[in-house]
Amino acid sequence: MLSHIGKGLLAPLAVASMYHMRVFATSGLESSMFWFFLVCVVFFLLSNQAKRCAFFSVLCVLCRPEGLLVIPLVFVSLSANRILYAMYTLAPILVYFFWKDWYFGDLLPNTYWAKGSEPRWEQGKQYLSLVFGMYGLSVLGWFACFGLSSQAKRFLLGFTLIFTIQLWKGGGGFMFARLALPIILCLVIAIELWASTYISEKRYPLIAFIFGIFFAISPYPAGLTQGMVDGIVEEKDWYPIESVLTAKELGLELHEYTKGTDVRISILGAQAMLAYYAKLPYVLESMAGLTDKELARMPAKGNRIGHGKKASLEYMRTRNIDVLLSHRNPMSVPEWAKISMGNVEGVLITYRSPVIEQLRAKGASVTDIPQWIDEQILKDLPKGERIDLFDQMHDFYFIPSNDEERKQKMFDWVKRVP
């Protein structure tokens, strides 16, 4: 039966057999779309269809930062029609870059600066060793490239080597395997092209099924089954269906409190889904700066890739942040700094009276700071505690609420002789 299947089976069977190809094909991210564009580029490159190859090359650039590799690699790989290809790619790309620089002020996406701009060679080595430790069979694709005579040889070899070096330099990513999957895909395509050329039709189906089986039973990295390896995690395990449904439920509830208000909210890790469903007026992603150009470009403070640029209290206040959500990130803070919006808990970063009144009118549970201050200045506290309280209230309440009268009263209370 296998002898009647024919060639062209190895690559799709191998890809479908890989666990992480299936995971990220259904994750909602742009990963699988980029893989599709890559496959189309290789397909039309093999038949020297420059116009169609140019179309999908441009889509690669629009889809992912590493798509920038595609155009020069295809250009040097084409055996003919290079000028035509250059015309059909450079014109739309230049227009896109001009618009992007005008609108965003940068040619690279904010995610590049937030997650992969700094050299992390050791982290990248660990990341790639985990990926190729699981999908090591794909390494045969590099050897297969040297046996190819088609014009796809340069493209497949160039893309996989250059992008591998980039991942090595940038530390890979915190989601295990995701960013390396385009490399695995291209290596599998190289194996397919080699096998289709050199393996007989009778033996080819058996070889294809063997590859599929080996990719299906690829050994999973032991450390990831226990949680995290050097900041690398199995992202799917961090977001089981229960947590997704909870985030949606809480997000919709939070929306009822924040819609029509001017509240500015900061989120931490594992809170993006909640913020998405809440449709918040303003969100600062404060773990990496995904929504903040300046924060994304700051030097990393931690070792974990994509999570090392956590905004400080002072930085959040420069952005007039009102609330930092504590969902899935419990914090120890004074009672007066807590806020509850239904089942959504948070920490007050600043107390802007008009905004807090908007939230309180919608049912939010939050300390009335002006009243709380009035109660404190009636107490006979040690001078050190008085100074600490005044310092805390200065940037937290007095400046954002512009309450000079109460500020002076508290200052007089601080100066009072014990």
Q: In 3D, which of 87, 99, 12, 97 has the Cα closest to residue 55?
A: 87
Domain boundaries defined on the chain: 2-235, 241-366, 371-415
Instruction: Please give the pLDDT value at position 93.
Output: 95
Whether the predicted model's global pTM rises above the 0.75 cut? yes
Q: What CA–CA distances, in Å, run from 48 to 8, 73, 160, 303?
A: 19, 14, 21, 45
Tens digit of pLDDT at every position of the chain (418 positions): 333 345 788 999 999 999 999 999 988 789 999 999 999 999 999 988 999 999 999 999 999 989 999 999 999 999 889 999 999 999 999 999 999 999 988 888 888 887 766 788 888 999 999 999 999 999 999 999 999 888 899 999 999 999 999 999 988 888 899 999 999 999 999 999 999 999 988 889 899 999 999 999 998 887 776 677 777 888 888 788 888 899 999 999 999 999 999 999 999 878 899 999 999 999 999 988 888 989 988 887 766 776 777 899 999 999 999 999 998 888 889 999 999 999 999 999 999 999 999 999 999 999 999 999 999 999 989 999 999 999 999 999 999 999 999 999 999 999 886 6
CA torsion sign, 410 to 412 to 413 to 414? positive
Instruction: Please give the pLDDT value at position 1.
Output: 32
Instruction: Please give the pLDDT value at position 156.
Output: 97
3-state secondary structure of 6: coil
Compute the C-alpha angle 32/34/40, nearest 5°: 105
Instruction: Please give the pLDDT value at position 234.
Output: 84
Torsion, CA 392, CA 334, CA 321, CA 366, rounded to 10:
-120
